[in-house]
A and B are shown apart, each in its own frame.
Chain A
Amino acid sequence: MTRWNLPEAGELTKTLQEEAIKNVQRFSRGMDLIYNPKEPQLGRTPKELIHKKNKSALYRYGHGSDRRHAVPILMVPNLGISRPYIFDLYPGSSFIEYIVQQGFDFYLLDWGVFGEEDNGLTFDECVTKILPVMARKVLRTSHARQLTLLGYCMGSPLGVCYAALHPEQVKNFVNMAGPIDFKQAGLFTTWLDKRFFDIDKLVDTFGGMPADMVRVGFKFLKPTMDLSTFTNLWWHLWDEKYVEGFVALNKWANEYTPFPGEFFRQWVKEFYQENKLVKNELILGGRRVELSRIRCPVLVVGAKQDYIVPPECARALIDAVESTDKEYIELPGGHISLIAGRGAKRNVWPKVSFWIAQRSQQG
């Protein structure tokens, strides 16, 4: 016999009242979102354009008087897939704003949105032609001899290759959810396996990797993501702060960017299919990329529920480098939760900032 646990009448009335108010607020905000959508103001931390090279731009954040640490930080994000304003979402929820407030001289390399004319750009050229110019500009403008390289996602393999080729320039290296051992890169490892995925045919047909195909690939990784996102939105629709965050993040999450064709070919072939980076078999600019040449302090941050770059895939850097000062931390959340959201601000940014600060005295 089913037992019905009915609440006290007063308690039930109160709950129903609260729920009714929330529903009215949900309805009102929902209507606002549909009929009066506001364009979120993103990337508001003051910045200065330091250098531009084709589509890529180097920005310096904050003001001179606030900078307390001698070693500048150069952040290298992913090329393609998405735009880097996720790092500077909106005041109070911006990784860049937080880092600048901690007194760092912070530079961001925005790879830009590449077009058809850039389809010949390779991974090799990004590491051997674009990164050296940007690093040089960072050192010149900050009057420092070395920099801290902070790689996020695909920016980590790009940065780590640079660090292995120019170890004398890199004071510290931070890998935030960046893939290193591509044998452990989750679903992408299986899907991009050369037995099933013909990268040459794709690039030869389209010239590049179109943004729409990038979107499909990422949506496939977690098909229920949109459903859970919108369920959560409905649940929190009464909460103004949540909706503000959602609008900003949703704009970013739906703005996919294409890959230059040759870059994508090299990325899939040499990284996902042949896993050359961790095997020290990668040749860039005629030089072998040996991760063991990295001896500077290394911090690797993995996210427990990261299905794009599983934690073990990022963690592999710890075993590959020769550094004596190296640390791995695994934090709750997914790939994006490391860089945006309340969890990131509480769990990740202070740890990363503290680790870098302790190693930011010019030697």
Chain B
Amino acid sequence: MSDGQMNQELLSMWKRSMDQGIEVWQKLIGQPQTADISQFVRPLWGQSMDLWTQILQQGAGSPDAIVQWKKFLDDSIEAWSKVLGQAMETEGFARAMGQFMDQYLNTVGPIRKSLQSSNEEFLKTMNLPSRKQVTDLASHLVSLEDRLEALEERIEDLVDGISLLEALVKRGASA
């Protein structure tokens, strides 16, 4: 069997398994409109086969083989990156991610709330400040700092004004 035929055979085998896999996933998810991911992967597979054939034809002991191998690795990663990028820029992906996030927040939200309230109860019983009280205190300090800063600015302006006046007075006296 020639290299080309073997590649073709492998490619068809792989494509069949991809199609069957996608079909099973579509049935599981119940979304027949799911994007055909194999259309992104097929050209990548073709490129990989070509590249490997090229590398093999050069001979495993070729001085370029190691560089070629690194190039192949980089190209493969880049190609996968493109494939994933294409899949992730679809609205379907964004919707799925949004739904996942929604479910995650639905689960995490109540757990966080109940943990917070039980923690606060515990700290209150132990006569210790709660997290909220500490953050409130920190916020209060920040607002105090803001007020001090405003005062500092006004003082700086006053000092500037006084030095300007002094300079004018000196100039007037010397004139």
User: Which A residues lie at the B interface, using CB under 8 A?
Assistant: 2-7, 11-12, 15, 19, 53-54, 115-118, 120, 129, 133, 136, 140, 186-187, 190-191, 193, 195-198, 201-202, 204-206, 220, 222-225, 227-228, 231, 235, 307
User: Which B residues lie at the A interface, using CB under 8 A?
Assistant: 3, 56-59, 61-63, 66, 70, 73-74, 77-78, 80-81, 84-85, 88-91, 93-95, 97-99, 101-102, 105, 108-109, 112, 131, 134-136, 138-139, 142, 145-146, 149, 153, 156
Docked CA distance A231–B134 (Å)? 46
Give the residues in chain A near B81, CB-CB below 8 Å: 222-225, 228
A-B contacts besides A12-B61, A140-B156, 13 pairs, CB < 8 Å: A6-B62, A7-B61, A12-B63, A129-B146, A186-B89, A190-B94, A191-B98, A193-B91, A195-B95, A196-B94, A222-B81, A224-B77, A231-B77
Name the prevailing secondary structure of the B interface residues: helix
Q: Which residue of A lies closest to B84 (CB)?
A: A223
Tell me if B63 and A11 are in contact (CB < 8 A): yes
Docked CA distance A11–B63 (Å)? 8
Tell me if B98 and A205 are in contact (CB < 8 A): no
Give the residues in chain A near B109, CB-CB below 8 Å: 201, 204-205
Which of B77, B105, B136 is close to A205, meaning CB atoms less than 8 Å apart?
B105
Docked CA distance A205–B84 (Å)? 30
Docked CA distance A203–B63 (Å)? 56
Give the residues in chain A near B3, CB-CB below 8 Å: 2
**Shortest CB distance B91–A (Å):** 7
Give the residues in chain A near B136, CB-CB below 8 Å: 117
Tell me if B88 and A220 are in contact (CB < 8 A): yes
Docked CA distance A317–B172 (Å)? 50
Which of A11, A186, A228 is close to B77, meaning CB atoms less than 8 Å apart?
A228
